Homo-oligomer: A and B are copies of this chain.
Amino acid sequence: MAEGDRMHALVRRLYPLCRSITGDGLRETLAVVGEHLDLTVHEVPTGTQVLDWTVPQEWNIRDAHISRDGRRIVDFQALSLHVVGYSVPVDRTMPLSELRSHLHTLPEQPWLVPYRTSYYAPTWGFCLAQSTLDAMPDGDYEVVIDSTLEDGSLTYAEHVVPGQVEDEVIVSCHVCHPSLANDNLAGVAVAVELAKSLRNPYHTYRFIFAPGTIGAITWLARNDADKVKHGIVLACAGDRGSLTYKQSRRGDAEIDRVLAHVLRDRPHEIREFSPYGYDERQYCSPGYNLGVGSLTRTPYAGYPEYHTSGDNPDFVTPESMVDTLTVCREAVDVLDRNRRYVNLSPYGEPQLGKRGLYESLGGRSDAKDAQLAMLWVLNLSDGDHDLLAIADRARLPFPSVAAAADALHAAGLLKEA
C-alpha cells in the first residue's frame, strides 16, 4: 500500500476511538500507533505536580445517550463527539427545558456536531446538531452518561530514532481529540510515516504523542528540554489547503529558516508566533523558548469544519498527507545536513578547474547550478553563513548547495567552522 493510503487507513482506524486527555481511548490510540512504531508509553498518576499544573483524574466513558421512548436521539456510540469531554456521570429523566442548558449546538452550522470539553470544571453535557435539537419535542428525556472520573493516570508515548548526535529534534502530536480526523489523526499518521522512514539520521529524533497542553506540560516537566534543539508540532496535516508554518517564538530559530526554505517554492503561508494554537504554546513559553514551530495545512480554527463532526476522514486526503510528509522529510534533510564551513582559500577564487570542479569551456552564459553553488559556498563560507543561509541567499535548492559543499570539502577547500 502506498504511503498516502497507509496514512489514510490509519486515520480511519483511529477515528472512532473516544480520546481525551486521559483514559482508555487514549491508551487504545497509542496501542494502534505502537503497531507501527516502537513506543515507550508513560503513565503519570493523578495528582502528580507538573510545572504549574496537576495531573487530573482519569476520565473513562462507556456509553452515553439522550433517549425518548427508548429510542436514542443522541448516541455516543455513533459519534464520540456527542459527549462533552470529561462529563461526570448522569442517569436521569428530565424535561427538555432542563436539559437544554447541557446541550451544545452550532446554530450557524445546523448539520454539524461541535466538539466541547470541560476538563477542569466538573459538569456534563451533550453536543448535537442544531437540526437534531430543532426536531426534539418538549417533554421528558432519558439522559445517560456512563462515565467515571477517578484517580488514575495520564498517558503519553514516545518513539526515539537515535542519531549520530544526542541533540534532539522533537516532532510532537496531540492525541487527545476524539473523532476529529484532521485535528489531529492526520498529524499522527504523518508523524508515524516520517518516523518509519528515518535511517541513521544526524540528529536524534523524538516523536511525542501526548494529550494537548497537559501532555506537553507533563513531558516538559519530566524531561531535559535543553537537549531539544529543534522541533515541529504537527497538526491539521491532511486537509486540502496549502501548508502553513507558524514560526517559533524566536522567529529566527534554525527550524524557522528551514521551513521557510523548504516551503519557498510551494504555495504556503508563514505566520509569526502567537501564544495560541497547539503545544507550541508550551514549548515556546518564555522559560523554555525552544526552537519549535508548528506545521499545519489550514491552521487552527481556520476552516469551517474545525472542531466539528465535519472534520471526519473524508475531510483529509492521502495526497495532502503525502505533501505534508514530503515537506517534513525535506526539512529533516536540511536540519541534518546544515553545516557552517570556512573557506580555506579565501583570497580570490581558488582555481576549481585544476581540481576538476569547473567546466573548461569558457564564455557560455548558462553557468550551471552546480558551479554557481560552489562559487556561493566559497564566497559565503566565512564562518558566519551556514549552508542554509547560503542556499537562501543564492536562491538555490539546499541539496545543490550541500552537494557543492561536500565536493569542496572533499577537495580540501573547506573545513567545518
Interface residues of A (CB under 8 A from B): 51-54, 85, 114-121, 123, 213, 216-217, 220-221, 249, 272, 274-276, 281-282, 284-289, 300-301, 306-307, 343, 345-351, 353-354, 360-365, 367, 372, 375-376, 378-382, 393-394
Q: Which of B348, B349, B351, B361 contacts A117 (CB 8 A)?
A: B361
Which residues of the partner chain B approach A360 to less than 8 Å between Cβ atoms? 118, 120-121, 123
A117 touches B217 (CB 8 A): no
Contact A353 B121 (CB under 8 A): yes
Contact at A362–B287, with CB atoms within 8 Å? no
A378-B275 contact, Cβ under 8 Å, with A51-B347, A348-B216:
yes
Taking the closest CB of chain B, its distance from the CB of A386, in whole angstroms, is: 15
Among candidates B85, B364, B379, residue contacting A249 with C-beta atoms closer than 8 Å:
B379
Interface residue from B221, B284, B361, B379 paired with A116 (Cβ < 8 Å): B361
Which of A116, A348, A362, A378 has the most CB atoms of chain B within a 10 A radius of its CB? A348
Contacts of A123 in B (CB 8 A): 360
User: Would you give the shortest CB distance from A46 to chain B, in whole angstroms?
Assistant: 15
Bound: A66/B348 CA distance, A = 39
Given contacts A52-B351, A217-B348, contact A275 B118 (CB under 8 A): no
Contacts of A372 in B (CB 8 A): 276
Residues of B within 8 A of A363 (CB): 85, 114-117, 307
Main secondary structure of the interface of A (DSSP, over half): loop
A306: which B residues are within 8 A, CB to CB? 365
Q: Please tell me which one of the listed residues B85, B361, B381, B393 contacts residue A286 in the complex, with CB atoms under 8 A apart.
A: B381
A361 CA / B52 CA spacing, docked (Å): 20
Can you list 24 A-B contacts with CB-CB less than 8 angstroms, sorted by A residue number?
A114-B363, A115-B363, A116-B364, A117-B361, A119-B362, A120-B353, A121-B353, A121-B361, A217-B349, A221-B348, A249-B379, A275-B376, A275-B378, A275-B379, A281-B349, A282-B348, A282-B349, A285-B346, A285-B378, A286-B381, A287-B347, A287-B348, A301-B365, A307-B364
CA distance A272 to B380 in the complex (A): 13
Q: Which B residues touch A275, using CB under 8 A?
A: 349, 375-376, 378-380
Contact across chains for A284 and B348 when beta carbons are under 8 A apart = no
**Residues in B neighbouring A274, C-beta threshold 8 A:** 376, 394
Q: Give the complex CA separation of A165 and B192 in angstroms.
A: 59
Interface-central residue, A52, A119, A120, A361, by most chain B CB under 10 Å: A52
User: In the bound complex, how far is the Cα of B351 from the Cα of A257, in angstroms?
Assistant: 32
* Nearest 8 pairs of A and B residues by beta carbon: A287-B346, A121-B360, A301-B365, A287-B347, A275-B379, A117-B362, A275-B375, A52-B350
With A117-B363, A275-B375 already in contact, 10 other A-B pairs whose C-beta atoms are closer than 8 Å = A52-B347, A85-B362, A114-B363, A116-B363, A121-B361, A123-B360, A275-B349, A281-B379, A288-B348, A306-B365
Q: Which B residues are CB-close (under 8 A) to A284?
A: 379
B365 and A307 contacting across the interface, CB-CB below 8 Å:
yes
**Contact (Cβ within 8 A) B348 A285:** yes
